[in-house]
Structure 1
């Protein structure tokens, strides 16, 4: 009986630890999404105000002072405003792909916890029943049925605990995944608004121009570095 309780206690402690971890992830992610939504509304209004006046440097400064998914995407759009809308959309899409891991942080871990806690509970029940029936085989006909029933009941507690821990974890996991998808859609809409705001200043440069510009920048940096090195030798 003591062995059953001991093994069940270990499983219960592990389930409790995973439950606390899940609660921490849920609270942190919910706060993140709530804060980012509130910050985005204020940030977009400030950026829109600057762009309408043509103060692009001010808009970039606002983005740098308020780091986040929206500001990073807005910054890309403003910096490459002289390129065609197609190029801007491609560049912003690439930048958006970098923001996805930030929004999905620890959500996969929450999903893992939601899946393994009921399995851990079932494992505790199985091992507890194995030990309970082992006691029955040791004592044979002299075994106390009440003791056996008590052992099985103790073993079933872990299954119940695992299910209780898994239900909210699964519910919030699905909710957080949905929030990530909604945030991505909202960011795309924000970016579309940005392109509209920049419509009068959007240029016609293509991806080829972007590659040429990048190569020229790299070449100038290399030349500058060589001149500095030459100067240091003399």
Structure 2
């Protein structure tokens, strides 16, 4: 946001200080605009300090606070939403592999998840506590755990959304206040009909709207980016949660026992029987 604001201010400064072409006639309006853009009392500021002074302390403070909050929230969500923190690949792969192989019981699975303490592990904990229950109960437990983790992942979204929504409104309020002040100054000073004075006053008033939009647009882009990352993360957590349900529910455990029995019985039947020797 700061980089974008600096680029806009630099562009404004370049436009305001653009030299005239050689040989071009200098009209009265051009001379007035050039003087105003350089250092005249009615000139429009193009440097950050001049813009801050033109907007006033109240609106400048509001925009600075909004920018800091938006940047801090965006960086904090990027750190929280790292995939290796939310869904650790090594832990998930090893955990599900042991469950598929039947080399882990309820107590072991619960202990491993509690040691990991990642959001995905917290979802697994809710499901493991329903080990051996019908699939409906296990699935509901996984969903309950997932909702709690999703709430934690979305914690900073409202902040970004609020900044992107309120910044233009604050800028619009500053513009309205500035235009009221400008018209009041013109009326009290008896400067009616001087278009240059009126134009400078309106331009100064519009600065707050421009700054508000400069803050709001990156904040909205950050909000959409974070929301998209959360959606993809939640979809992956839901897929892994459903796989857990299919591994530890009562139906899954019963099917595994039946499959193991079917494999063991033919093996036992294929063994050659020892001949029975009758004693004389």
User: Shorter-chain TM-score: what band?
Assistant: 0.7 to 0.9
Q: Is residue 70–residue 187 contact of structure 1 (8 Å, CA) maintained in 2? A: yes
Contact persistence 1:63–1:74 (CA under 8 A): yes
TM-score where L is the length of structure 2: 0.64
Look up the SS of the partner of 1:141 in the other structure.
coil
Partner residue in 2 for 1:171: 221
Structure with higher Rg: it is: 2
Match of 2:71 among 23, 33, 41: 23
Between the aligned partners of 1:202 and 1:182, the Cα distance in structure 2 is 28
Equivalent residue of 2:81, what SS? helix
- Aligned CA distance change for structure 1 residues 175 and 193 (closer, same or farther; 3 Å): same
Please name the residue that 1:132 is paired with.
Answer: 182
CA displacement at 1:108 relative to structure 2: 1.1
C-alpha distance in structure 2 between counterparts of 1:77 and 1:34, whole Å: 23
If asked which structure has higher relative contact order (CA below 8 Å, sep 6+), I would say: 1
Instruction: Structure 2: state its 5+ residue gaps.
Output: 1-41, 43-51, 255-280
Check whether the contact 1:114–1:169 (CA below 8 A) recurs between aligned residues. Answer: yes
Aligned to 1:180: 230
Query: Over the residues paired in the alignment, what is the CA RMSD in angstroms?
Result: 2.7
Inter-CA distance 5–132: structure 2 relative to 1 (3 Å threshold): farther
Aligned partners of 2:64 and 2:146: how far apart in 1? 36
CA contact (8 A) 1:8 1:154 kept: no
Describe the shift of the 1:201–1:141 C-alpha distance in structure 2 as closer, same or farther (beyond 3 A).
closer
The separation in 1 between residues aligned to 2:148 and 2:90, in whole angstroms, is 23
Matches of 1:36 and 1:156, distance apart in 2: 45
Deviations 1:100-130 (A, max 9, x none): 2101102112111110101111111111111
Hey, what does 2:61 align to over in structure 1?
13
Structure with greater proportional helix content: 1
Give the equivalent residue in structure 2 for 1:114: 164
1:150-176 deviation per Cα after TM superposition (whole angstroms, max 9, x unaligned)? 332222111111001111111121222
What is the TM-score with the length of structure 1 in the denominator? 0.76
